[in-house]
Chains A and B, each alone.
Chain A
């Protein structure tokens, strides 16, 4: 196992019980600490791929490994995996703090350790004053921040995000994108990010993978050489425009073929 293919899939295919092929012959390798975006037309199996990496689904053919192990085993052996869904999926009967510490509770961490971690996470996403609020009282953007912080609670080595910002307004989305960027600088984590937005993929990641329509496979990739420290101004540079153009063209040709 090399750091370069921390997450690695070889000829991975997934067929659903109803016979639809979600993924076919997917090869990919993602380095440790890399942030990779997946873009592709609707229904091309991007979310399915995240669920394979999370070990929530098993490939029908081929292999998919994290640190050389099956995902379900890898996450029990120190390569914890966290998932941020498209909707915040908070538990409405729990306060913000209790939602944040749910993963730690499931891992049976003692109460004092949970409290301490909750404090850190609340500060991280700037929600300290909402510690005892219930999700019903929060705005959509705040709920998504809680969801993000919850994903980080157990210090995952792999962070999977499934269009987490799709339902938010532009302003909130840019703020959360910047928060995500600063997170990756602070936390040692490998990120797989599914999105529909080409600009979002270029702004956030080190590499953009373009998937074909169903059954999904990688039809092209664009390296994004901006490094980990990025500011919002980046979006208005010529280089940024060139890279989004590249991704868009790949998307168009990938969908046509």
Chain B
């Protein structure tokens, strides 16, 4: 508990200082609320629109989690194919990098065109944005194995199946977890971007849709509240992934390296 406080206190203090400065600045210079609303204004807007913000956050969370699970499943499946042979990697990996480099805002309208506005498109945009870290890390974990470990398995005439389940798959867990941590952050961004393009087709507006609306109506206070909610959502997803990662990997860590 003491250690937790020691770690949590500095960022909390800097947040308090930041909010205080922000408040003082908007007050002292009389900045109009439609340009930069003060913190109290943002909180008021958030409270007044809680009936929209809370469901919107949950909708965005659902899109992000679905996109994340999809990239985890598809990323692992693709990595398993890639891990089978060097020639498969050589011929397909350059195109997998396409997933990383493609500008998502250019592809999102296409996805909406093909899948229609709504949840499916939002999940797909989030998926395209977040699959690459999982895929590339899983390929690394499945293939970059200490040669002596492979020799150990060869020496006991282990089958391809045994080597996959007893060596390659468990070996790739830490790298997949590392990739999943990166993807977890991207997946929330992906869901919000997806809602920009496809949110109007959903039953309940997500944070992305709400941001568009607030922006269109010059409700800067609400816009700020949406940004705050998105950030909090991303933080929650990040912390949750970190917790799962810790539970999965704690046995592999040296006692000295734990903090």
Stretch at the interface among A59-67, A78-86, A121-129: A78-86
Q: Please, how many angstroms separate the alpha-carbon atoms of A73 and B253 in the complex?
A: 39
- Residue pair B155, A54 in contact (C-beta under 8 Å): yes
Q: Assess A87 versus B148: contact at CB under 8 Å? Given A136-B254, A137-B255.
A: yes
Could you say which of A51, A81, A87, A106 contacts B162, with CB atoms under 8 Å apart? Answer: A106
Could you say which of A51, A75, A87, A134 contacts B252, with CB atoms under 8 Å apart? Answer: A134
Residues on A with beta carbons closer than 8 Å to the beta carbon of B85: none
Q: Is B173 engaged at the interface, CB distance under 8 Å to the other chain?
A: yes
CB distance from A105 to the nearest CB of B (A): 7
Give a binary string over A82-96; 1 marks a CB under 8 Å from any B CB, 0 the rest.
110101010111000
- Residue pair A106, B251 in contact (C-beta under 8 Å): no
Q: Is A25 engaged at the interface, CB distance under 8 Å to the other chain?
A: no
Q: Is B50 engaged at the interface, CB distance under 8 Å to the other chain?
A: no
Residues on A with beta carbons closer than 8 Å to the beta carbon of B155: 54-56, 75, 81-83
Q: Assess A154 versus B251: contact at CB under 8 Å? Given A83-B151, A102-B166.
A: no
Residues on B with beta carbons closer than 8 Å to the beta carbon of A106: 153, 156-158, 162, 166
Question: How many residues of B sit at the interface, in one of the four size bands?
Answer: 20 to 34
CB distance from A46 to the nearest CB of B (A): 15
Q: Please, how many angstroms separate the alpha-carbon atoms of A137 and B171 in the complex?
A: 18
Residues on B with beta carbons closer than 8 Å to the beta carbon of A256: none
- Residue pair B156, A93 in contact (C-beta under 8 Å): no
**Count: A-B pairs, CB below 8 Å:** 56
Q: Assess A91 versus B146: contact at CB under 8 Å? Given A83-B155, A106-B156, A107-B156.
A: no
- Residue pair B170, A93 in contact (C-beta under 8 Å): yes
Residues on A with beta carbons closer than 8 Å to the beta carbon of B166: 91, 102, 105-106
Q: Please, how many angstroms separate the alpha-carbon atoms of A60 and B148 in the complex?
A: 22
Q: Please, how many angstroms separate the alpha-carbon atoms of A76 and B153 in the complex?
A: 14
Residues on A with beta carbons closer than 8 Å to the beta carbon of B157: 75-76, 106
Q: Please, how many angstroms separate the alpha-carbon atoms of A75 and B158 in the complex?
A: 13
- Residue pair A56, B151 in contact (C-beta under 8 Å): yes
- Residue pair B156, A89 in contact (C-beta under 8 Å): no
Name the CB-closest residue of A to B152.
A89
Q: Assess A92 versus B158: contact at CB under 8 Å? Given A83-B151, A85-B148, A87-B148.
A: no
Number of interface residues of A (CB under 8 A): 24
Q: Which of B143-170 contact A (CB under 8 A)?
A: 146, 148-149, 151-158, 162, 166-167, 170
Residues on B with beta carbons closer than 8 Å to the beta carbon of A33: none
- Residue pair B252, A103 in contact (C-beta under 8 Å): no
CB distance from B59 to the nearest CB of A (A): 37
Name the CB-closest residue of A to B249.
A93
Residues on A with beta carbons closer than 8 Å to the beta carbon of B156: 103, 106-107, 154
Could you say which of A54, A89, A107 contacts B149, with CB atoms under 8 Å apart? Answer: A89
CB distance from B190 to the nearest CB of A (A): 31
Could you say which of A81, A107, A134 contacts B251, with CB atoms under 8 Å apart? Answer: A134
Name the CB-closest residue of B to A137.
B255
Task: Tell me which of A81, A82, A102, A154 has the highest count of chain B C-beta atoms within 10 A of its own C-beta.
Answer: A102
Residues on B with beta carbons closer than 8 Å to the beta carbon of A107: 156
- Residue pair B253, A136 in contact (C-beta under 8 Å): yes
Give a binary string over B114-143; 1 marks a CB under 8 Å from any A CB, 0 the rest.
000000000000000000000000000000
Q: Assess A91 versus B154: contact at CB under 8 Å? Given A134-B252, A136-B254, A136-B255.
A: no
Residues on B with beta carbons closer than 8 Å to the beta carbon of A92: 252
Residues on A with beta carbons closer than 8 Å to the beta carbon of B151: 51, 54, 56, 83, 85
Could you say which of A89, A134, A136, A154 contacts B148, with CB atoms under 8 Å apart? Answer: A89
- Residue pair B251, A93 in contact (C-beta under 8 Å): yes
Interface residues of A (CB under 8 A from B): 51, 54-56, 75-76, 81-83, 85, 87, 89, 91-93, 102-103, 105-107, 134, 136-137, 154
